[in-house]
């Protein structure tokens, strides 16, 4: 606590804090005033939240300016928790409270029996503590086992015995998380998972400011901004939400996944752990695009559960895994930098399959098979966007003649490019499309794999699970030649 902050109630009454009419300002008015100041200054409202400037953020701003409790409805991985935690930045830097109060009593308007008794006994000598903004944000994940005691509070018989109080005395209460968030923000994630009787308790707090603890009526006029999150599939009048509570949530804001690949790439690059302090990492933009398009393809795939969604954490984790595989390869081959390529995306399958929920049809196909298909479709879409009109007939004809190429993910970029030179027209397509430049073997190798993956997606050539590229329908009676990088020719 700064020495400039008053330490007693008397000093606080004589301070600029009391003179500035801040003493009786509610937390919603406080958030509103600070939000207006931020809007006047310009700049982002919620730092680190990308893609919501024209959709979600204006609706949240309107809710806060209206002093509403609100709910964010959206699927997983849509930055709901980050937005709620960012609300704490709209609180004042510090506020005064009665020292020792469990529920952050306002020195000028105490609501607990403890604070009222302390002021009655000590008057202007009542000690004052100062609470920072981070301590005024309370977050709880709703689960079916959450009780009224967790959220509202319960009678503490040990406290009653030690203090010589009857159980009906307010001083025997052990306050829950919501009263402890008084004069702050209370965020409840996954509201539909909260039991109905707990929702009734929230409704009473929001509407009347009173609760019953073990049958004893206690009025708690809490000063708190309450915000929730929920999945839209669960948040319905006939679902797991009691109608009176739903009716008293002031604003309902729908979140969404990135509306464009470019926005998704910006989010992924912002969140992914790429700068690792070892070898320098270079992620070609087309590799970032392929990884992002995997998520976009998955969100449109009918075999993947739309109710669960495909979290934005999926491309973030996939990019991190791809970089890690490329990092491992660079250490094995002695290369001086880390450049992920398509084979590294295949190595990141655990980061993809673990984040998709399959429908019945998808379960029949299998998560790994669907993930392979998503990678190929993403590569095809990326290639079409960047070099859709380039001629690949010579490459396809080379494979149709029975040739095959085995791509080893642990081979150096130089050896990869040397092998790709044997495929007629492949490097020319890479250079003409601007995917890679001569002399940058790492990027050229990654771009060459992208071209081949696009041809696989178009069913012009095939790719085995071991990384061998060959003709789409090889002859039954002839074994194709295999061109192994670093291993010569096999009959």
Q: What is the mean pLDDT of the chain?
A: 87
Report the 3 state secondary structure along the chain.
Answer: CCCCCCCEHHHHHCCHHHHCCCCCCCHHHHHHHHHHHHHHHCCCCCCCCCCCCCCHHHHHHHHHHCCCCEEEECCCCCCHHHHHHHHHHHCCCEEEEECCCCCCCECCECCCHHHHHHHHHHHHHCEEEEEEHHHHEEEEECCCCCCHHHHCEEECHHHHHHHCCCCCCHHHEEECHHHHCCCEEEEEECHHHCCHHHHHHHHHHHHCCEEEECCEEEECCCCEEEEEEECCCCCCCCCCCCHHHHHCCCEEEECCCCCCHHHHHHHHHHHCCCCCCCCCECCCHHHHHHHHHHHHHHHHCCCECCCCCCCCHHHHHHHHHHHHHHHHHHHHHCCCCECCCHHHHHHCHHHHHCCCCECHHHHHHCHHHHHHHHHHHHHHHHHHHHHCCCCCHHHHHHHHCCEEEECCCCCCHHHHHHHHCCCCCHHHHHHHCCCCCCCCHHHHHHHHHHHHHHHHHCCCEEECCCCEEEECCCCCCCCCEEEECCCEEEC
Q: Kindly state whether residue 51 falls inside one of the protein's structural domains.
A: yes
In a domain, 45, yes or no: yes
My answer on whether 300 and 249 are in the same domain is: no
The pLDDT value given to residue 216 = 63
Please state the separation of Cα 271 from the chain's center in Å. Answer: 9
Q: State pLDDT tens for residues 410-445.
A: 999 999 999 999 999 999 999 998 998 888 999 999
Least-confidence region, from 82-86, 177-181, 183-187, 258-262: 177-181
Contact call for residues 94 and 5 (beta carbons, < 8 A): yes
- Res 479 pLDDT > 50: no
Which is more confident, 205 or 443?
A: 443
Domain boundary (254, 277, 303) is at 254
**Average pLDDT of the segment spanning 67-86:** 93
Give dist(CA 411, CA 448) in Å, integer: 14
Distance CA 133, CA 113 (A): 25
Same domain, yes or no: 337 and 419: yes
- Residue 95: give its domain's CATH number: 3.40.50.300
266 and 216 inside one domain: no
Confidence band for 194, pLDDT divided at 50, 70 and 90: confident
Calculate mean pLDDT across residues 348-363.
92
186 occurs within a structural domain: yes
| Same domain membership, residue 278 and residue 179 | no
Tell me: do 319 and 453 sit in the same domain: yes
Phi/psi for 340 (5° steps) reads -70, 150
244 lies in the same domain as 326: no
Contact 245, 202 (CB under 8 A): yes
- In a domain, residue 135? The reply is yes
Statement: residue 306 has pLDDT above 50: yes
Dist. CA 382–CA 341, nearest whole Å:
14
Question: Distance from CA of residue 483 to its chain's centroid?
Answer: 43
Minimal CA–CA distance to 104: which of 86, 75, 128?
A: 128
Range of the domain at 238: 9-254
Residue 418 placed within a domain: yes
Q: In terms of Cα–Cα distance, which of 224, 170, 1, 17 is closest to 9?
A: 17
User: And the tokens for 75?
Assistant: 């699927």
Dihedral pair phi/psi, residue 232, rounded to 5°: -60, -30
Residues 6+ positions from 225 with CB-CB distance below 8 Å: 27, 28, 31, 69, 87, 184, 185, 186
Burial class (CB in 10 A: 0-12, 13-18, 19+), 150: middle
Q: Residue 161's pLDDT band (boundaries 50, 70, 90)?
A: low
Identify whether 286 is part of a domain: yes
Same domain, 378 and 342: yes
Q: Are residues 208 and 271 in the same domain?
A: no
For 90-141, how does the pLDDT look when each residue is reduced to its tens digit (9 = 90+)?
Answer: 999 999 999 999 899 999 999 888 899 999 999 999 999 999 999 999 999 9
Which of 232, 254, 276 finishes a domain?
Answer: 254
Residue 4 resides in a domain: no
Predicted local confidence at residue 154, as pLDDT: 74
In a domain, residue 242? The reply is yes
pLDDT score of 325 more than 60: yes
Rg (C-alpha) for the chain, rounded Å, is 30
Q: Is 287 found in the same domain as 231?
A: no
Residues 450, 316 share a domain: yes
- The residues pairing with 8 across neighbouring beta strands, listed in sequence order, are 127
Distance separating alpha carbons of residues 178 and 226, to the nearest angstrom: 9
Q: Which residues of 263-275 are buried (b: 16+ CB within 10 A; e: fewer)?
A: ebbbbbbebbebe
Residue 241: the pLDDT is 82
Percentage of the chain beyond pLDDT 70 is: 89
- Residue 212: count of CB within 10 angstroms of its CB: 12
Q: 159 and 304 in one domain?
A: no
From 206, 235, 254, give the residue that closes a domain: 254
Q: Global pTM?
A: 0.85
User: Are 236 and 305 in the same domain?
Assistant: no
Q: How many domains does the chain have?
A: 2
**Dist CA 310 CA 351 (whole Å):** 12
């Amino acid at each position: 606590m700064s020495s400039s902050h008053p330490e007693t109630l008397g000093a606080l009454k004589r301070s600029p804090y009391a003179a500035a009419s801040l003493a009786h300002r509610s937390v919603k008015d406080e958030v509103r005033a600070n939000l207006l100041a931020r809007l006047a200054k310009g700049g982002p409202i919620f730092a680190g939240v990308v893609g919501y400037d024209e959709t979600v953020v204006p609706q949240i701003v309107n809710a806060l300016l209206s002093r509403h409790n609100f709910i964010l409805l959206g699927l997983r991985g849509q930055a709901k928790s980050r937005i709620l935690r960012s609300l704490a930045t709209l609180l004042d830097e510090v506020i005064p409270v009665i020292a020792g109060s469990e529920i952050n009593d306002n020195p000028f308007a105490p609501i607990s029996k403890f604070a009222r008794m302390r002021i009655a006994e000590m008057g202007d000598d009542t000690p004052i503590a100062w609470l920072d903004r981070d301590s005024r944000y309370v977050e709880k994940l709703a689960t079916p086992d959450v009780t009224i005691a967790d959220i509202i509070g319960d009678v503490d018989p040990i406290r009653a015995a030690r203090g010589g109080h009857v159980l009906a005395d307010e001083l025997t209460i052990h306050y829950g998380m919501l009263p402890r968030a008084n004069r702050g923000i209370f965020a409840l994630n996954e509201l539909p998972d909260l039991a109905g009787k707990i929702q009734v308790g929230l409704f009473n707090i929001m509407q009347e400011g009173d609760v019953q603890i073990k049958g004893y009526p206690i009025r708690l006029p809490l000063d708190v901004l309450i915000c929730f999150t929920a999945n839209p599939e669960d948040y319905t009048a006939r679902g797991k939400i009691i109608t009176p509570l739903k009716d008293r949530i002031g604003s309902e804001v729908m979140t969404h996944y990135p509306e464009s690949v470019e926005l998704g790439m910006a989010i992924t690059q912002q969140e992914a752990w790429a700068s690792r302090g070892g070898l320098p990492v270079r992620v070609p933009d087309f590799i970032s695009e392929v990884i992002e398009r995997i998520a976009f393809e998955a969100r449109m795939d009918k075999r993947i559960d739309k109710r669960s969604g495909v979290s934005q954490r999926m491309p973030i984790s996939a990019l991190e895994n791809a970089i890690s595989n490329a990092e491992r390869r660079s250490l094995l081959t002695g290369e001086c930098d880390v450049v992920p390529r398509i084979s590294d995306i295949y190595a990141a399958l655990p980061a993809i399959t673990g984040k998709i929920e399959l429908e019945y049809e998808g379960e029949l196909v299998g998560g790994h098979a669907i993930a392979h298909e998503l990678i190929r479709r993403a590569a095809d879409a990326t290639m079409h966007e960047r070099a859709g009109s380039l001629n690949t007939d010579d490459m396809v004809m080379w494979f149709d003649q029975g040739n095959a190429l085995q791509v080893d993910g642990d081979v150096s970029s130089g050896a990869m490019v040397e092998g790709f030179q044997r495929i007629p027209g492949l490097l020319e397509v890479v250079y003409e499309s601007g995917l890679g430049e001569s002399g940058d073997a790492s990027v050229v190798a990654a771009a060459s794999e992208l071209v081949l993956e696009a041809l696989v997606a178009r069913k012009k050539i095939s790719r085995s699970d071991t990384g061998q590229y060959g003709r789409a329908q090889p002859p039954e009676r002839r074994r194709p030649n295999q061109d192994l990088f670093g291993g010569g020719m096999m009959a």
